[in-house]
Amino acid sequence: MARRPRIGVSARIQYGDASKRGYLKKDVCYLERAFAGWLQSSGALVYLVPDQGNLADYAADLDGLVLQGGSDIAPQTYGEEPLRPEWAGDAPRDRYELELLERFMDASKPVLGICRGQQLINVALGGALYQDTHTQLAGAALHQDTAIYDAMFHRIAIEPGSGLARLYPGVKEAKVNSIHHQAISRLGSGLRVEARSVDDKVIEAVRHTGPGYVVGVQWHPEFLAKGDPDLLDATPLLQEFLERC
C-alpha cells in the first residue's frame, strides 16, 4: 500500500484575552474541521503546523503545505499602512506563514493557498493587495457578506490554456463561494492569473510559473457542497495538489 501524503496546514490563530475565562485567556492555534475533512477526503494525513519552533523541520518532514484562510494580511506586510483600524490585519501570523511558505518552497514541496493563502503567496512574491476590494476597486462587486458567510456565491471565468483549464476541461465559467474583502491588486513575480471573477475581474486563482508547484485560489473549496452541479467540483484541485505531493 502506498504511503498516504502527509500534508501540513498553517494554523489559524486566536489570540488570548486576559479578560476572558479559561482557555480563552491563551493563544490558540487551530484548524477548521471542514478544512481537515476536505484534505482527508482524498486520503491525506493532515498535520497542523504551529507558529513556533523550527519551521524548516516541518518542510523537511512533510510532503506539502496548505495555507488556510482567515484573518486579513497586515498592510505593512506589503508596504502600506492600514486605511482603517479594522483592516490592520494579523502581522504575527503573516511573519509565521511567510517563513513557512519560504521553507516549503526552498524544499521544493508543493503549496496550495486558500483565500488568505492565495493572498499570502502573492505578497511573498512581491505583490500587493486591495485592503478592501469593494471600496478600492472601481466597479467591484461585493465579495463578502459575513451574515451568510460561505453561502455567498459568484461566477469565475477560467483563463484558457491555464492549469485550471486543464483540470476542468470544457469549463469556461464556474460558480464558487466568496468570503473575502481583500484581493490581489498587484500580481507577484512569477505568478500567472488562472481565473477571474466574471463581474469585476478580481483575480480568483494564480499559479507560479517557476519550478515546483505553488497554486492559490480565492474561494474556499472545503465549503463547496460535493455533488452540487451548480458549483465547481473541488476534487480535481485537491487531487492535483496531492499527486504533486
Instruction: Spot the catalytic one: 159, 194, 204, 222.
Output: 222
Q: Is 134 a catalytic residue?
A: no
Annotated active-site residue in 143, 180, 181, 220? 220
C-alpha cell at 225: 457542497
Contacts 24+ apart (CB under 8 A), 117-120: 117/10, 117/66, 117/67, 117/68, 117/69, 117/216, 118/67, 118/184, 118/205, 118/206, 118/216, 118/217, 118/218, 119/73, 119/180, 119/182, 119/183, 119/184, 119/216, 119/218, 120/67, 120/73, 120/94
Catalytic (active site) residue 245: no
Given the residues 97, 115, 181, 204, select the one marked as catalytic. 115
- 58 DSSP 8-state letter: H
Active site residue ranges:
115, 220, 222
